[in-house]
Amino acid sequence: MLMNYDYLCLNIVCIAITLWFVYANAELKRLEYPVKRDGSLSFLVIGDWGRKGYHNQSLVAAQMGIVGNEQNIDFVISTGDNFYEDGLIGVDDPAFKLSFTDIYTAPSLQKQWYSVLGNHDYRGDVEAQLSSVLREKDRRWLCLRSFILHTDTTPFVDDYFRVPGEHSYDWRGITPRKKYVSTLLKDVNSALEKSTATWKIVVGHHPIKSAGHHGITTELESSLLPILMDRNVDFYLNGHDHCLQQITGMDSKTQFITSGAGSKAWRGDIEAWDLEDRLEFYYDGQGFVSVHMDANDVDFMFYDIFGNVLHKWNVSKQLHAAF
């Protein structure tokens, strides 16, 4: 896609103007998302949130509304684990209203939400979150199994299949797993290879690199990360670990951003970080991330439940491209 004054090509897979939805065994669907008149795009990133307002979810939501208004956001990205503890039981589950519609009530948050499935979502009725019935209940809601705004990372993790413990998972649409994962990787690689986007952003639930409770997801490190490196992806956004963090990869230009602090956080749960990659920032409380971008720069800001800016940094495309 060519850059012009009406559309800013940021993608991953595509954030922004171009939204490419990836389904297993299907063609990519491409949607165009117009930027503002000044050529910019703003959005919030929140993950691991759906607890009916408890564990400070409501406080995080209130600050999101304030920041969303200040930045005139275009949409919200959810990095998964949308409904605790075990997803939704069906399309009429009151948890949808109690954890989503009744919580994110600020005018600035009445924008499109792009949601990925997390492992807790797979413990319930996955088809409910994917259903158009929820979009009829709340027009903001859009959750697809794998769209290239978001990549479905839960099926990559071996433990959910081999040692699920007391949990059961809804794997409808995933099996045979090997074929599903292989097709998804090919779709992601193909979309990134063909992309002419100014910025490339991949979003998934599980971290590739993390100093948090769950740490590095080895299955993604071995299968997805090489694609991100080969295709010069700028940012990988994820949740799963209940924290906020930024890690700079030393062997590629990709920045790894965790926004999984939408409600319950794990205070003091941080692993010693002795890898080559730089742990630029880590916060073990609740909060969220804002992103403002144009053709030249991206600004990230990390907020706590009081609206304090805990960390921020700017990335210039000219300098980033020279990596």
CA distance 99 to 180: 30
How far is Cα 227 from Cα 142, in angstroms, rounded to an integer?
26
Host H or E run for residue 297: strand 297-304
Among 255, 251, 250, CA closest to 235: 255
Phi then psi for residue 115, to 5 deg, are -120, 140
7 in Cβ contact with 1 (< 8 Å): yes
Would you say 270 and 212 are in contact if contact means Cβ atoms under 8 Å apart? yes
Neighbours of 171 (CB within 10 A): 16
Residue 134, by phi and psi: left (phi above 0), alpha (psi -120 to 50) or beta? alpha
Q: Which sequence positions are flagged as catalytic?
A: 214
Q: Which residues pair with 304 in a beta bridge?
A: 287
